[in-house]
Amino acid sequence: MLRIILQRLILLPILLLLFSVIVFWLIQAPPGDFLTSYLATVASSGSSIDAAQVDAMKTQFGLDQPFHIQYLRWMENLLHGNLGLSLEYQLPNTQLIGERLLLTVILALLSFLFTWAIAIPAGIYSALHKNSALDYFFTVVNYFGVATPNFMLALILMWLAFSKFGVSITNLFSSEFIDAPWSWARVVDLMKHIWLPMIILGIAGTARLTRIMRANLLDELHKPYVVAARAKGLPEWKLIFRYPVRLALNPLISTIGWYLPQLFSGSLIVATVMNLPNIGPLLLHALTQQDMYLSGSILLIYCFLTILGTLISDILLAWLDPRIRMEGA
Amino acid sequence: MPSPRRISPLAALGSFLAFSLLLAGCGPTATPTAAATSKPQATNTTAPTAEVITYKQAPILDAQVSSGDLPPVVERLPENPLVEEAESIGTYGGTWRRGFLGPSDYNGYIRIVADSLLVFSPDGTKVLPKIAESYESSADFTTWTLHLRKGGKWSDGSPLTADDIMFWYEDILQNKDLMPSIPSWMKNSDGSTVKVTKVDDYTLTWTYLGPNTTWPLEMANKDNGDRAYPAFLPAEYMKQFHAKYADAAALEKMVGDAGFKTWTELFAMKKNQAENPDRPGTAAWIPTTAVGKEVMVMKRNPYYMGVDTEGNQLPYIDEVRMIYFADAASLNVAAIAGEFDEQERQINLMNYPVFKEEELKGKYKVYTWPGFGGGDADVSFNQTYIKDADLGALMQNKDFRIAMSYAIDRGAIKESAFMGLGEARQPVPAPNHPFYPGDEYAYKFTEYDTAKANELLDGIGLDKKNADGIRLYPGTNKPVQIEISVVPAFGPWPDVAQLIAADWNKVGVQAIVQVRERALHFQMRASNDLQTEIWNQDTTGFPFTGNPKLDPRTMLAGGITVWPLFNTWYNTGGTDGLEPSADAKKIVELINKARTVGGAEQAAVAQELFKLWVDNCYEIGTIGLTPMVQGVVVVSNNMMNVPTALGNDWPLRTPGNGRPETWYFKA
């Protein structure tokens, strides 16, 4: 096991180097560059830039350099442990990402907890009471949950809140708290706002997870060891939770590592629609503005966390499930 | 003179004529005394006599003055402060809530503060002094003199003098690292750099080789707009980041610490107040947080040089808070919910009916500030298209272009895409603008007449059709197909394109709408791959300064697809591209001429230019004079002095020309 972990860790920098080239190339692949996007943005608000100034900006941003120089420039920063400078913000990328990291993680953790807190009990209930009225109810709700894109749900709820209560439910804070220093009042304000994005972001995952839990558990419930345990007189409640539920959780555990990159990314579209101050909109905006150093940095961190997440999943699974551990050794 | 607030934008344009005539009166043939457009002008610059007026300040500053942190208001103001008129005298205090889209929306901040030496009048017809005290030209328009306000100060309390302008002139404009090429407004006709001379601490002159009448309009645009270098910078502060003045080792360290590679990057960032709140400025509000934050906060500048007519130092409002939105749609949702005190930028015209509905419920006030330019969705035909010789020749055919104009049902476009706002017209300035070429041209070829269109198309040899009813090129089986490229961003252009395509199909020209991402569209524009495109024409109000879209020399990224290869020809000094047509050369000649004459003569040249433009249908206008470009204004019920009508254009820095420093909250 230790060997596998070490192997993976050695592979990590090589993979990251490869990803960095691919990511940077992909970002540069669409036509135009940051300046083209900037000119377009400027043109949209009725102004125009003098050619001399475009020259000046091109030199200032290093956009007159060829692709490999731009890449090396970025790499040089990365090797020095910083993520370079955002063209648009003119601030270090580390700072931009850092500022949004806390709220991104809080929101993602909450929606993750929401998902598991609802999905596991609901899944177990559905499996144990298969084809009962409540099972059908959960099933219908789940299909809706899976089928509705969460940004759509966000839009519908935003419209409802506006048309019924005349309020816009965007952002994670009331406007007076957006830039306030952390205080108890600010935490309370955050709690007042965060529940809705939490539900919106969690709902599809909840639905999917409930279905998986239900199916996994149904597979286990009719296996001979369950029948044997029941025949030996083990209390039903103890029986279910000690054996089939633990086994049914396995596939879920194996995917838990995948949440790691999600914790970091923030939900791109929902966060943009709801104007949440997390990393999602930052990435989306950096991509549309072709701010390649910022978007490249975020995507590279995302790659890093994906690799790490997969590794963590493997470790967790091996730890939880003796069968896999045996094979691994 | 009526208060500027009551001037309707159209009627007010007439007063441009007065300004123009004034310039004309000062022409070389007139009296040789200094031609004053604004030398110590009675109306806008001179303070009420100092004995009568005691200057007052915002209560929020009282504590700082009594503790000695700030000098008294009379010492902070220049000897002769700027007097700003408004509908009513305001009360101090409050926070103005706005929304913005982050650093790419940089100009959202620029437009509020309009931080320049000269500024346009609210109606957009005159250039008035702002931070500068006055300006004048020599009789022959070759020398322009700028007078600064004696005792005027930067927001850190240091004096603003001629040295701050000379620093820009000598160490920025002429520094090859910072400015690889000299901008056109600072170049003489022979390519040499215009001479700026310091006369005394408060007086400077710009000396051109030939006559130049665009100087005031150019100067009114020399602020941080589009991240450009303004023509005046706090020299003492900026020198610490300039390679010529700073200690090399210290500078290198600062460059490295900020994550930059060269000092020019650092310098460019440090001069932008929105990115570096430490940089002293002269605007009514000074940023205290950077533009990249969740909220961009601007606080009152205790040294702002303007007062109201009763001697109260402006601005009235203490603070501006611009809240970041990741996306314009969510900003609009917040605006509809009434979360802003005044917002026009990023408000989508499509939401106009919703805003009006909410206004009826008494939630807020909604004004419209229609654009000057005259065209909000125009089709331009590529005159140098070479990928398809048949189509290229067809688009060069004037009758074809006229037929295409007649074939468009503009009434339908106005109703369904522009919600009944604006009018059907060609891309010429608004009616009361002195450059307006007359109704005859504004509405030429704009009636919906398919019979005329068919007749013209038959007349140019496109009289055979295939089974689908599409016309065939003469003597071939090749159907006439034309592509309309459109960007789904700035206006209801994709809808307009679909309507036009359907109209053109009806007269046997198969139009294909290509909705493209803007960067791709821009690249295709530059590589001469566009056939026709839909864009707006918003530069006809100022065709001789900045980057007018009908000037073949205007960079393609800021222009329209009329003659990409002529543009290359001009930009490469004739070594690449195609030699311009007679019309293109004529346009360049007219623009060059207009830049050297004033008043009625200039207006006559402008009219000739627009007549040529309309006659040839290089750019077909559909609907114009709508509030499409940030012209839908949502104002909270207690926000006062916001003009109900206002000239709206980028050179005016709208709403900056509406003097936001005089806006206030009703108690």
Q: Which residues are within 8 A (CB) of B176 and not within 5 positions of it... i.e. 6 or more apart?
A: none
Cα three-residue angle A274-A275-A277, rounded to 5 degrees: 125
Checking if the pLDDT of A326 tops 60, the result is no
Bridge partner list, B193: B187
Q: Which of B227, B275, B519 sits opposite A36 (nearest CB)?
A: B519
CA distance A90 to chain B (A): 7
Cα B623 to Cα A40, A190, B410, B425, B496: the distances in Å are: 22, 46, 7, 6, 10
Tell which B residues from 314 to 353 touch A, by Cβ distance under 8 Å: 321, 323-327, 329-331, 333-334, 336-337, 339, 345
Put simply, the answer to whether A54 touches B336 (Cβ < 8 Å) is no
Report the C-alpha gap between B529 and B507 in whole angstroms.
25
B13 vs B223 pLDDT, higher one = B223
Q: Which of A57, A96, A276 sits opposite B292 (nearest CB)?
A: A96
Cβ burial, residue A278 (10 Å; 0-12/13-18/19+)? buried
- Please check whether residue B173 touches A, CB under 8 A: no
Q: Which of A44, A57, A179 sits opposite B294 (nearest CB)?
A: A179
Burial A192-230 (b: 16+ CB within 10 A, else e): ebbebbbbbbbbbbbbebbbbbbebbbebbeeeebeebe
Q: Which of B104, B272, B571 sits opposite A41 (nearest CB)?
A: B104
Report the C-alpha gap between B346 and B56 in whole angstroms.
36
Q: In whole angstroms, what separates CA B548 from the centre of its chain?
A: 10
Report the C-alpha gap between A60 and A16 in whole angstroms.
29
- Please check whether residue B180 touches A, CB under 8 A: yes
CA distance A116 to chain B (A): 29
Put simply, the answer to whether A175 touches B650 (Cβ < 8 Å) is no
CA distance A267 to chain B (A): 13
Report the C-alpha gap between B376 and B490 in whole angstroms.
10
Q: Which residues are within 8 A (CB) of B572 and not within 5 positions of it... i.e. 6 or more apart?
A: none
ipTM above 0.90, yes or no: no
Put simply, the answer to whether A50 touches B184 (Cβ < 8 Å) is yes
- Please check whether residue B254 touches A, CB under 8 A: no
- Please check whether residue B272 touches A, CB under 8 A: yes
CA distance A110 to chain B (A): 22
Report the C-alpha gap between B76 and B74 in whole angstroms.
5
Put simply, the answer to whether B261 touches A73 (Cβ < 8 Å) is yes
pLDDT at A44: 66
3-state secondary structure of B533: strand
Report chain A's C-alpha Rg in angstroms. Answer: 24
Closest chain B residue to A167 measured between Cα atoms?
Answer: B337
Q: Which of A37, A41, A166 sits opposite B337 (nearest CB)?
A: A166
pLDDT at A160: 86
pLDDT digits (tens, 9 = 90+) for A227-257: 898 899 888 888 888 888 888 888 787 777 7
Report the C-alpha gap between B62 and A110 in whole angstroms.
47
pLDDT at B220: 94
pLDDT at A248: 87
CA distance A297 to chain B (A): 15
For range A41-59, the mean pLDDT: 75
Q: Which residues are within 8 A (CB) of A116 and not within 5 positions of it... i.e. 6 or more apart?
A: A209
CA distance A47 to chain B (A): 5
B355, B362 Cβ separation under 8 angstroms: no
Report the C-alpha gap between B63 and B54 in whole angstroms.
19
Put simply, the answer to whether B228 touches A37 (Cβ < 8 Å) is no
pLDDT at A324: 67
Q: Which of A36, A53, A275 sits opposite B522 (nearest CB)?
A: A36
Structure-token pair, residue B648: 């709206």
Please state the three-class secondary structure of A46-107 as a single string. CCCCCHHHHHHHHHHHCCCCCHHHHHHHHHHHHHCCCCCECCCCCCEHHHHHHHHHHHHHHH
Report the C-alpha gap between B486 and B499 in whole angstroms.
13
- Most A CBs within 10 Å, among B107, B330, B372, B544, to test the A interface: B330
| Among A145, A170, A141, residue whose Cα is nearest residue A155 | A170
B4 vs B212 pLDDT, higher one = B212
The answer to which of A164-173, B106-115, B274-283, B536-545 has the lowest mean pLDDT is: A164-173
Q: With beta carbons under 8 A apart, name residues in chain A contacting B555.
A: 48-49, 51, 54
Put simply, the answer to whether A168 touches B183 (Cβ < 8 Å) is no
Q: With beta carbons under 8 A apart, name residues in chain B contacting A151.
A: none
Q: Which of A168, A175, A271 sits opposite B97 (nearest CB)?
A: A175
The answer to which of A244-253, B332-341, B443-452 has the lowest mean pLDDT is: A244-253
Q: With beta carbons under 8 A apart, name residues in chain B contacting A36.
A: 519, 522-523, 557
Checking if the pLDDT of A322 tops 80, the result is no
Burial B604-625 (b: 16+ CB within 10 A, else e): ebbbbbbbbbbbbbbbbbbbbb
B91, B667 Cβ separation under 8 angstroms: yes
| Among B651, B653, B645, residue whose Cα is nearest residue B627 | B645
- How are the residues of chain B apportioned to helix, strand and coil, as percentages rounded to the nearest 5? 35, 15, 50
Q: Which of B260, B490, B555 sits opposite A54 (nearest CB)?
A: B555
DSSP state, A261? H
Number of CB pairs < 8 Å for A and B?
A: 189
CA distance A35 to chain B (A): 10
pLDDT digits (tens, 9 = 90+) for B604-649: 999 999 999 999 999 999 999 999 989 999 999 999 999 999 989 8
Alpha helices (H) in B389-449, listed in sequence order: 389-395, 398-406, 410-417, 439-442
CA distance B39 to chain A (A): 29
Report the C-alpha gap between A78 and A287 in whole angstroms.
19
Q: Residue B659 — pLDDT band, cuts 50, 70, 90?
A: very high
Q: With beta carbons under 8 A apart, name residues in chain A contacting B295.
A: 175, 178-179
pLDDT at B8: 41
B555 vs B342 pLDDT, higher one = B342
Q: Of all helices (H) and strands (E), which one includes residue B101?
A: none
| Among B141, B2, B175, B152, residue whose Cα is nearest residue B76 | B152
Number of other residues whose CB lies within 10 A of the CB of residue A7:
10
Report the C-alpha gap between B117 and A100 in whole angstroms.
38
| Among B627, B602, B650, residue whose Cα is nearest residue B116 | B650
Checking if the pLDDT of B13 tops 60, the result is no
For range B557-586, the mean pLDDT: 91
Q: With beta carbons under 8 A apart, name residues in chain A contacting B260.
A: 85
Put simply, the answer to whether B181 touches A38 (Cβ < 8 Å) is no
Closest chain A residue to B229 measured between Cα atoms?
Answer: A53
Sign of CA dihedral B161, B213, B563, B449: positive
- How are the residues of chain A apportioned to helix, strand and coil, as percentages rounded to the nearest 5? 80, 0, 20
Put simply, the answer to whether B337 touches A167 (Cβ < 8 Å) is yes
Looking at every residue in chain A, the average pLDDT score rounds to 85
pLDDT at A40: 76
Checking if the pLDDT of B21 tops 60, the result is no
- Please check whether residue B179 touches A, CB under 8 A: yes
Q: With beta carbons under 8 A apart, name residues in chain A contacting B557.
A: 36, 39-40, 43, 49, 54
A327 vs B11 pLDDT, higher one = A327
3-state secondary structure of A282: helix
Burial A138-154 (b: 16+ CB within 10 A, else e): bbeebeebeeeebbebb
Report the C-alpha gap between B653 and B111 in whole angstroms.
5
CA distance A48 to chain B (A): 6
For range A208-223, the mean pLDDT: 90
pLDDT digits (tens, 9 = 90+) for B142-159: 999 999 999 999 999 999
pLDDT at B49: 52
Structure-token pair, residue A302: 């995302």
Burial B215-251 (b: 16+ CB within 10 A, else e): bbbbbbbbbbbbbbbbbbbbbbbbeebbbeebeeeeb
Checking if the pLDDT of B20 tops 70, the result is no
Put simply, the answer to whether A46 touches B629 (Cβ < 8 Å) is yes
Tell which B residues from 490 to 509 touch A, by Cβ distance under 8 Å: 490
- Please check whether residue B124 touches A, CB under 8 A: no
For range A144-156, the mean pLDDT: 88
pLDDT at A204: 82
Q: With beta carbons under 8 A apart, name residues in chain B contacting A55.
A: 180-181
A323 vs B196 pLDDT, higher one = B196
Q: Which of A38, A55, A179 sits opposite B293 (nearest CB)?
A: A179
Q: Which of A280-284, B490-494, B516-520, B611-615 has the highest mean pLDDT?
A: B611-615
CA distance B95 to chain A (A): 11
Closest chain B residue to A47 measured between Cα atoms?
Answer: B650
Put simply, the answer to whether A179 touches B324 (Cβ < 8 Å) is no
